[in-house]
Amino acid sequence: MPGICEGRVVIVTGAGRGLGRAHARAYAAEGARVVVNDLGVGPDGSGESGGPAHDVVAEIRAAGGEAVAHGGDIATTEGAASLIGTALDTYGRLDTLVNNAGFLRDRMLVNLDEDAWDAVMRVHLKGHFLPLKHAGAYWRAESKAGRTPRACVINTSSGAGLLGSVGQGNYSAAKAGILGLTMVASAELGAYGVCVNAIAPAARTRMTEETFAETMAAPEEGAFDAMAPENVSPLVVWLGSEASAGVTGRVFEAEAGRITVMEGWRPGPTADRGARWTPAEAGETTLKLLAGAEVPGKVYGAR
């Protein structure tokens, strides 16, 4: 029986390890032809190696699938353009883009230097924007030529982007920015036949193994591995298939066997006096509104 992504061409960034590797393999298992992007850097973004991307391509081909490696830096215009070009030159089309690449440079805010801030913003936020920009330009051209695509983008945010995470001000800000980018891209690219969604996954990867060492430990043999990256991939594959048509501008948490539709900022309790408040009146009214409002979720790591 054909897979739900049979014949589709899918790009996965940061696909050499962890979640990206699991996504790439899952797409290939469902019949997609996959462009496996990975710069081969360390958990903090240092060093480069083409090995991880080529290893995943070899795994996919050994299982009977189709894949090609791309080792460019997708946080540069040249690298992002060549990424989309690799899909078009190799397979003649592009149907799905999974933005997943990233790394960590954790510090408490008072110890966080500009280089660590800029590096994390660059790989996560710019590394989502540039592939999305170039893929979007391709899909727009296809639509204007009368070949309206059934295209999909899945961006990767985090619980840190939804709630914040102590010691991860740069990462939390970047992941929150990805959510805003997702909403804008969904609105702008919808006219060209593109659905854009985001996930906030939780899984055992190089980026999380130290932060969540106790809760993300591997299970006993034969038990369900709740924190395996492969648990997140089924949702990502479905979102990248034609079966998800019409689903756009949404954010999903995915962890273990759980999928949650996240509901973002919405108007809560409000008061309108029809005239300007004094500071004291504004404060008194605000306290009354807060008393009837939902309590925010706790920041990860907060005491």
The answer to whether 173 and 121 have CB atoms below 8 angstroms apart is yes
Does residue 66 form part of some domain?
Answer: yes
CA-based radius of gyration for the chain: 21
Residue 207: per-residue pLDDT: 58
Q: How far is residue 38's CA from residue 51's CA, in Å, rounded to a whole number?
A: 9
Clarify whether 175 is annotated catalytic: yes
pLDDT confidence tier of residue 116, bands split at 50, 70 and 90: very high
Identity of the residue numbered 279 = P
Report strand pairing: 258-262 vs 251-255: antiparallel
Longest dimension (CA), the chain: 70
Q: What is the mean pLDDT of residues 56-85?
A: 97
Identity of the residue numbered 151 = A
Q: What CATH number does residue 221 fall under?
A: 3.40.50.720
Does residue 279 form part of some domain?
Answer: no
Identity of the residue numbered 42 = G
Does residue 137 form part of some domain?
Answer: yes
Does residue 272 form part of some domain?
Answer: no
The residue among 196, 167, 64 whose CA lies nearest residue 107 is 167
Q: How far is residue 180's CA from residue 177's CA, in Å, rounded to a whole number?
A: 5
Q: Which of 27, 91, 138, 171 is catalytic?
A: 171
Clarify whether 158 is annotated catalytic: yes
Does residue 302 form part of some domain?
Answer: no
The residue among 83, 129, 80, 98 whose CA lies nearest residue 26 is 98
Residue 77: per-residue pLDDT: 98
Does residue 231 form part of some domain?
Answer: yes
CA distances for 24 relative to 13, 136, 231, angstroms:
9, 21, 13
Clarify whether 133 is annotated catalytic: no
Residue 42 pLDDT exceeds 70 = no
Residue 221 pLDDT exceeds 80 = no
Non-local (6+) Cβ contacts of 105 within 8 A are 44, 45, 116, 119, 120, 170
Tell me: the pLDDT tens digits for 175-216? 999 999 999 999 999 999 999 999 999 988 665 555 555 555
Does residue 275 form part of some domain?
Answer: no
Q: Which of 82, 157, 158, 233 is catalytic?
A: 158
Overall number of domains in the chain: 1
The residue among 130, 133, 132, 10 whose CA lies nearest residue 73 is 130
Non-local (6+) Cβ contacts of 164 within 8 A are 172, 299, 300
What is this structure's pTM?
A: 0.91
The whole domain housing 223 covers: 9-262
What does the block give as tokens for 54?
Answer: 């080529």
Q: Which of 82, 91, 175, 300 is catalytic?
A: 175
Does residue 285 form part of some domain?
Answer: no
